[in-house]
């Protein structure tokens, strides 16, 4: 655990320090988010925050694979470099989009290229849990599902990046939840706690935390597509790498024993947790596709009807809307882990819904009272 804490700290410090430098570079290069009708910011804000997060993750990986515990396994080192190579590609595509506003097909091609690079370097999904067994994927299915999963997660994070600090905070919460589960899973299965999934998620969480001071309202820099797509790829590959480093037969046995005892359900959570961490972005993505299709528009045509827009339209302040979505993300991510650990899905689901309702009812009035006290009389 000490090495993971070191990796987290390095990612956070490097991302924090690089954010200021990337902001100055973005201003000089003209990579600036102008104010558009659908945007929430009122003044131009520099992009390239994703580059700062990439450097944070790269520094964390570089240190991690050379530590005596994390770096002792060849598979962890190999997968870490493979994921970092794909992260560099997708971050570069995002930088090009921040500079030149690539069209949707060009960005999709870049996402597929990065996902294909992950697969070509050997990091791909090897099994999928089914109700009665764990299904081993053949080569073709493995490639197709891996690419689809990465592209899906990448676009989901991109959709939720609409308020200052929103995407970085939501992904930090989800990544920490996944890290805790991956660490717990290896301890429960009595296998090495050094996994690529744990390394990726703790580095991603650290980079997000380091970037947040620059990005929280009022933001001084945006992560842009270079950051949103990077975070989506990292969260997706953390789940994918875990399927290659955990023995699925042992998971199947543990899952059967756990279901009888109402305890840990390890066979499902490696793939469910990234989806839970991205539950809000996925919901936002699905609603956007349906909404735009009904209106006769393509799904990539932007509008101002995302979940965060709706919260602000209902009277929540900018910060209040972000904090509320943080709470929802934490309830869903850690609630999913609680269901896996206890098997009491009805009880946990009820508690999660109750927590979400309480947050909705209380966060707004508290925020408004604070703002009222801060206003000059």
End-to-end CA distance of the chain: 50
Three-state DSSP state, 295: coil
* Cα–Cα distance measured from residue 201 to residue 244, given in angstroms and rounded to the nearest whole number: 16
Q: Pull the structure tokens for residue 89.
A: 């590609």
Query: How many C-beta atoms lie closer than 10 Å to residue 131's C-beta?
Result: 5
Residues 6+ apart with CB under 8 A from 286: none
* Cα–Cα distance for residue pair 38/34, rounded to 1 Å: 11
Task: Check: CB of residue 342 under 8 Å from CB of residue 348.
Answer: yes
Give the C-alpha separation, 32 to 163, whole Å: 16
> Running DSSP on this structure, what letter comes out for residue 68?
T
The residue written with tokens 């717990």 in the block is: 184
CA–CA distance, 204 with 96 (Å, rounded to integer): 22
Secondary structure (3-state) at 90: helix
Packing angle of the helix pair 224-245, 166-188 (nearest 10 deg): 10
Tokens of 252: 């199947």
- State how far the Cα of 129 lies from the Cα of 269, in Å rounded to an integer: 9
List the one residue out of 19, 45, 21 whose CA is nearest residue 33. Answer: 45
Flag whether 103 is marked binding.
Answer: no
| Residue 66 assigned to a binding site | no
45: three-class secondary structure by DSSP: strand
Rounded alpha-carbon distances, angstroms, from residue 319 to 132, 313, 366? 45, 13, 12
Cα torsion 288, 291, 292, 293 to 10°: value is 120
Annotated binding site: 158, 225
Annotated binding site for Mg(2+): 158, 225
């Amino acid at each position: 655990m000490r090495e993971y804490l070191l990796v987290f700290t390095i990612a956070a410090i490097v991302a924090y320090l690089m954010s200021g430098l990337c902001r100055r570079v973005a201003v000089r290069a003209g990579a600036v988010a102008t104010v558009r009708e659908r945007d929430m910011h009122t003044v131009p804000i520099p992009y390239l925050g994703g580059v700062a997060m990439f450097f944070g993750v790269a520094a964390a990986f570089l240190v991690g694979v050379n530590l005596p515990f994390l770096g002792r396994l060849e598979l962890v080192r190999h997968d870490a470099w493979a994921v970092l190579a794909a992260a560099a590609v997708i971050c570069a595509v995002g930088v090009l989009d921040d500079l030149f506003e690539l069209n949707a097909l060009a960005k999709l091609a870049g996402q597929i290229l990065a996902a294909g690079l992950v697969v070509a370097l050997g990091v791909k999904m090897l099994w999928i849990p089914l109700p009665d067994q764990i299904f081993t994927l053949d080569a073709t299915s493995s490639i197709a599902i891996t690419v689809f999963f990465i592209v899906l997660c990448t676009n989901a994070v991109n959709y939720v990046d609409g308020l200052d600090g929103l995407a970085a905070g939501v992904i930090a919460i989800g990544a920490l939840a996944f890290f805790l589960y991956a660490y717990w899973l290896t301890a429960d299965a009595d296998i090495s706690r050094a996994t690529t999934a744990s390394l990726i998620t703790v580095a991603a969480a650290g980079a997000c935390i380091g970037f947040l001071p620059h990005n929280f309202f009022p933001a001084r820099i945006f992560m842009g597509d270079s950051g949103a797509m990077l975070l989506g790829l990292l969260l997706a590959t953390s789940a994918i790498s875990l399927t290659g480093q955990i023995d699925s037969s042992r998971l199947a046995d543990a899952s059967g024993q756990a279901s009888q005892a109402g305890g840990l359900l390890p066979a499902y959570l490696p793939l469910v947790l990234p989806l839970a961490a991205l539950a809000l972005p996925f919901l936002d993505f699905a609603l956007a596709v349906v909404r735009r299709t009904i209106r006769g528009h393509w799904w990539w045509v932007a509008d101002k009807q995302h979940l965060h827009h709706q919260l602000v339209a209902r009277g929540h302040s900018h910060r209040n809307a972000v904090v509320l979505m943080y709470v929802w993300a934490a309830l869903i991510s850690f609630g999913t882990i609680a269901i896996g650990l206890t098997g009491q899905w009805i009880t946990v689901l009820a508690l999660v819904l109750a927590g979400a309702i309480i947050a909705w009812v209380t966060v707004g009035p508290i925020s408004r009272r604070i703002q009222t006290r801060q206003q000059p009389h």
